Amino acid sequence: MTKKPMKRNLRNNLVGWSFLSIWAIGFILFMAYPLILSFYYSLSKVTLSGEGIIVDFIWFENYRQIFSSAAGFSFLQSVRDFAFEILFKVPIITVFAIIIAVLLNQKMKLRGLFRAVYFLPVIIASGPVINQLISQGAATIPLVEESGLIDLINSTFTESLAKPIANIFSELIVILWVSGVQILVFIAALQKIDRSTYEAAMIDGAGPWESFWKITMPALKSMVTVSIIFTIINLATFSENDAILHIKNNMFALDTGFGFSSAVAWIYFIALALILGVAMFAIRLFTKDKVRR
Amino acid sequence: MMRITTKQKIKHILIGKNPSEGLIGRIAIYGLLIIIGFVYLYPLIKMFVYSIKDLEDLVNPTVDWIPTKLYLENYRTSWIVLNYGKTLFFSLLVTLVPAIFQTITTSLTGYALAKFKMRGRVIVFGLILMTYLVPSQVYMIPKFVLFDKFGILESAWSIILPASFGQGLSSAIFILIFYQFFRMQPIALDESAEIDGANPYQIFMRIGVPLALPAYLTSFLFSFVWYWNETYISSLFLGTNLYTLQLRLFNFSSQFSLAQGLSQQAVNEAIKYSATILIILPVLVVYIIMQKWFVEGIDRTGVTGE
């Protein structure tokens, strides 16, 4: 009898790793080396010349520079701004996506058409059109900028707070554009719920509010995590993100170069990991008393 | 008495048993969905309107939303510049194939992490998140060097192989979606199947996959769209001889001057927009086909009284 759990444990390990094996082989083949090399570059002075790549190992000099040079300082500032931006955007996007997903999951006329329209941001936001849209001003509300709302915000809040708040108003429609994926993820999760569950709950006297918190939210709960991770990383690695621009611009800059740029990327990685960690902690705190299975 | 019932009737029509069923609720919901939907449709409508304008309409400031005539020549032009027929085939090759294999592999990975508490699970989780968090710009050059050693540069393999091994575009988010989906599935189903003598792989195929169908659909769709829209990796790995539709759009102006028989013309917004619409169209078609597969209540199977 004591032998059985051991055997089961071993079997669990073997079967689990067999499911995981393709990913593991892929990671070793395609990912491990580039990641390690990029980390090595971050500890080096890298010169890209006609003859190839010249690498001088200089320990943590690049990292020291991030915290002591002007280029590094402006990067750190953009990370701080990004963290503030996230603080406002992530909750708005998540709540918005949940509401739209629930509405689109209802029985309604022309549901197929509506869902097709709400898939458009998924196509457009990841394509070349989005940059065109933003540059042409189709993605911002001119009204918001003209009405003096921005000035009002600037005068009421401190500088570090006013900027992200003003951004949110001027980027309200941009927020709509980056919510497409999250909406679809939530719709997918809603497919797990059988409509008769709602009917049964209604017969038992549950109102729509209760049904939402007791039936809908538990099904969506796990996807909230996915949605938040996606939102953060999607915004963080967006090609026009300030921090990403720092990484790109420093790559071929004469004074800083590829090594410095790699170090910046690794610091950015650590910053993002911290932001994610805080977000996960917040979700846990929030869902603990709100949604109970 | 009569009055009260009419009042109740009106109230019933306006508000309903459930706020979302009454007239007021309906109008509010449709209103909201239509307004936001319009925001999404607006650029597409604008692009379409522009794409059917001829040069005259384009420079005429009085012609804004309604062109004076339906001018389809722009589509013909951009069809030629994009080399549509041939490029579409290659685009589908480096979009459909990676999307299908990426979905399969990430589902296996998500299933492993959700159902088996094996050793090294936490490390694997960390590595998956790491590949997602580290900005890709920084390991692209090392990757380029590596792929050169493998000899898969300048071929479709440079896109297909990493995707098939779960190291493709945003693989991590797909793994997370599958992980959460498989984790939500009732263990009771797996256990009863095990008692009936099914092995873990049969359980995965017969119970895991069917119950996670919406996750498969969404993952495939995202993967498809993202590979379709991707230009950064493909321009780096495919070299100068292989083109996807997006790459051709990216270099539209230079492609335009290279295309034969168009030298007397100049690129204008109308032609560019018609090209953009031609590129969005296949993705929309795929979505509309796939959308029908979204079925509700997939958890109905079996388990009761949980």
Answer yes or no: is pLDDT of A170 > 80: no
The 10s digit of each residue's pLDDT in B154-206 is: 999 999 999 999 999 999 999 999 999 999 888 888 888 989 988 999 999 99
Answer yes or no: is pLDDT of B11 > 90: no
Residue B156: its pLDDT value, please? 93
ipTM: 0.87
Residue A143: its pLDDT value, please? 41
Interface of A with B in 3-42 (CB under 8 A): 12-13, 15-17, 19-20, 22-27, 29-31, 33-35, 37-38, 41
Record: contact A251-B137, CB cut-off 8 A: yes
To the nearest 10°, report the CA torsion of A54, A55, A58, A62.
90
User: What integer is the mean pLDDT of A274-283?
Assistant: 91
Ordered by start, the domain boundaries in chain A are 3-42, 68-290
User: What integer is the mean pLDDT of A77-88?
Assistant: 90
* B215: its two tokens: 């996750």
pLDDT band at A230 (very low <50, low <70, confident <90, very high): very high
The 10s digit of each residue's pLDDT in A18-34 is: 999 999 999 999 999 99
Answer yes or no: is pLDDT of A16 > 90: yes
* B166: its two tokens: 């779960």
CB within 8 A of A94, min separation 6: which ones? Answer: A182, A224, A227, A228, A231
Residue A1: its pLDDT value, please? 44
Which region among A21-25, A47-51, B28-32, B206-210 has the lowest average model confidence (pLDDT)?
A: A47-51
- A237 interfaces chain B, CB cutoff of 8 Å: yes
* Closest partner CB to B165 (pick from A29, A105, A236): A29
CB within 8 A of B19, min separation 6: which ones? Answer: A208, B25
What percentage of chain A has pLDDT greater than the value 90? 33
Contacts across the A-B interface (CB distance below 8 Å): 259
Residue pair B209/B182 in contact by the 8 Å Cβ criterion: no
Answer yes or no: is pLDDT of A95 > 90: yes
pLDDT band at A139 (very low <50, low <70, confident <90, very high): very low
Which region among A56-65, A135-144, B66-75 has the lowest average model confidence (pLDDT)?
A: A135-144
Q: What is the pLDDT of chain A when averaged over all its residues?
A: 83
Answer yes or no: is pLDDT of B122 > 90: yes
CATH topology of domain A68-290: MetI-like fold (1.10.3720)
Residue B260: its pLDDT value, please? 60
**A120, A251, A276: best mutation site toward chain B, by most B Cβ within 10 Å?**
A120
Cα–Cα dist B227/B233, whole Å: 10
User: What integer is the mean pLDDT of B122-145?
Assistant: 91
* Closest partner CB to A225 (pick from B141, B175, B180): B180
Cα–Cα dist B222/B102, whole Å: 11
Top pLDDT among A108 and B142 is at B142
Residue pair A168/A89 in contact by the 8 Å Cβ criterion: yes
- B41 interfaces chain A, CB cutoff of 8 Å: yes
User: What integer is the mean pLDDT of A13-21?
Assistant: 93
Interface of B with A in 58-97 (CB under 8 A): none
Distance from CA of B28 to the nearest CA of A (A): 11
